[in-house]
Amino acid sequence: MAVAAERLGVLEAADPELAGLLQGELERQQNTLELIPSENIASPAVLAALGSWLTNKYAEGTPGRRYYGGCEWVDQVERLCQDRAQALFSAEHANVQPHSGSSANMAAYMALCSAGDTILGMDLSHGGHLTHGSPVSFSGILYHAEFYGVSPETERLDYDLVRQRALEVRPKVLVAGASAYPRTFDFPALREIAREAGAALLVDMAHFAGLVAGGAHPSPVPYADIVTLTTHKTLRGPWGGMILCPESRAKDVDKAVFPGVQGGPMLHAIAGKAAALHAWTQPEMADYAQRVVANAARLAEGLMARGLRLVSGGTDNHLMLIDLRPLALTGRQVQEGCDRAGITVNRNSIPFDTASKFNPSGIRLGTPAVTTRGMGEAEMDEIAALVAELIHNVGDEAAERRVALRARALCEAHPLPYG
């Protein structure tokens, strides 16, 4: 692993204790199957930009309007990143400074409404996100949060029910997007609902931004007042956030990010985002997005064929949720069994779950990281067989050992891109 070896070599000389921990995590990533749908593998180019001397620079403000001297190079880096984001997503304006999806969402609310206003988001246990109004997040503390959910029959969004809720609660902001919803969103319908209710539409496409970039999911950009995203999930960039909006909202968004929510931007992270966006100008990235979705469909079929129930009967995107209730298992049991066999997943609530959030009834799986490693439909069949074997034999050490060997073989055949 030349890229990794070079980086670890520098660290090893300066701080062997820390280098040892990074080495351990590198080996974990190389030797385990990463099925957490919000994780991915950043390219060596992204790592190079991220680990650069741009971390040394303060640049509060926006390109050309900074509060510090010496910004002539970082201005160009940030403008390049903005131009690339605007071109990739056909957006009029991009703010590339948010440190994370949560700070992007915080700034988006600040640009669209005031503390105490009503926001209407998707229920966390139906797939929504903490920052869409949960009472334990700033979004539910600063704003009056109301929720919509999926239909009990289909476990999908029923847009008539969303409309009904929106007309009941008349939110200032209608929030769409999710972290555990396996279906595509109907943005024209959401736009219409927001219009009827007198609300602004905020779409958080953190999970599926890469699918939008590659044409494998409809784009919310033409329909939303503000779109937020993260750069480290399907988009395959460094950890971080971003906001897209029409020119008419640019000033409010920029002011909300700085000084509203953040201080200085992390220029090294912005350089990493620029490197990730550049990769999306290459045709293989559109192909990547299509393969993520095709792999998820194949994995879902393989799991269902082995007797597992998936929420909403499958997936349209990069993720799926296994309902463990019919097997009388808990998410924690399965997550821990998978960990012992070298497969990384996360336990997750499923719609109408009555179990605790710490030990919910679902397991969330996704294909972004394994697709980045070059795995395709044959490997998805193998992964479905491995996950199903673990679930049907929870706690059986012999089964875990058998699965671990096969999972390790898949990893060795598809190394990380740091060689």
For binding to ligand DSN (CB under 6 A), which residues are involved? 38, 101, 129, 179
Residues β-bridged to residue 366 = 319
Least CB distance to ligand DSN at residue 101 (A): 5
Least CB distance to ligand DSN at residue 122 (A): 13
Q: Of 129 and 298, which has the nearer Cβ to ligand DSN?
A: 129
Least CB distance to ligand DSN at residue 379 (A): 22
Least CB distance to ligand DSN at residue 313 (A): 21
Least CB distance to ligand DSN at residue 66 (A): 30
> DSSP letters along 252-282, please?
HHHHIIIIII-SS--HHHHHHHHHHHHHTTS
Helices (H), 51-158: 72-89, 101-112, 138-142
Distance CA 125, CA 183 (A): 15
Least CB distance to ligand DSN at residue 102 (A): 7
> DSSP letters along 334-363, please?
HHHHHHHTTEE-EEE--TT--S-TTS-SEE
Structure tokens at 40: 């991915």
What phi and psi values does residue 253 have, to the nearest 5 degrees?
Answer: -65, -50
Q: Of 66 and 364, which has the nearer Cβ to ligand DSN?
A: 364
Q: Of 95 and 103, which has the nearer Cβ to ligand DSN?
A: 103
Residue 364 in contact with residue 180, Cβ under 8 Å? yes
Q: Of 38 and 317, which has the nearer Cβ to ligand DSN?
A: 38
- Between vectors from CA 28 to CA 26 and to CA 31, what angle results, nearest 5°? 105
Q: Of 93 and 129, which has the nearer Cβ to ligand DSN?
A: 129
Distance CA 243, CA 104 (A): 6
Q: Of 184 and 393, which has the nearer Cβ to ligand DSN?
A: 184
Neighbours of 312 (CB within 10 A): 21
CA atoms within a 13 Å half-sphere pointing along the CA-CB vector of 325: 14
Residue 374 in contact with residue 414, Cβ under 8 Å? yes
Neighbours of 314 (CB within 10 A): 15
Least CB distance to ligand DSN at residue 363 (A): 13
Q: Of 330 and 344, which has the nearer Cβ to ligand DSN?
A: 344
Q: Of 62 and 139, which has the nearer Cβ to ligand DSN?
A: 139
Least CB distance to ligand DSN at residue 204 (A): 9
Distance CA 324, CA 394 (A): 12
Structure tokens at 149: 């959910």
Distance CA 380, CA 366 (A): 11
Q: Of 82 and 234, which has the nearer Cβ to ligand DSN?
A: 234
Residue 390 in contact with residue 400, Cβ under 8 Å? yes
Residues β-bridged to residue 61 = 66
Least CB distance to ligand DSN at residue 180 (A): 7
Q: Of 38 and 125, which has the nearer Cβ to ligand DSN?
A: 38
Least CB distance to ligand DSN at residue 207 (A): 6
Structure tokens at 325: 């209730």
Distance CA 419, CA 44 (A): 9
Distance CA 97, CA 36 (A): 25
Distance CA 172, CA 200 (A): 6
Q: Of 239 and 352, which has the nearer Cβ to ligand DSN?
A: 239
Structure tokens at 388: 């199903």
Least CB distance to ligand DSN at residue 239 (A): 11
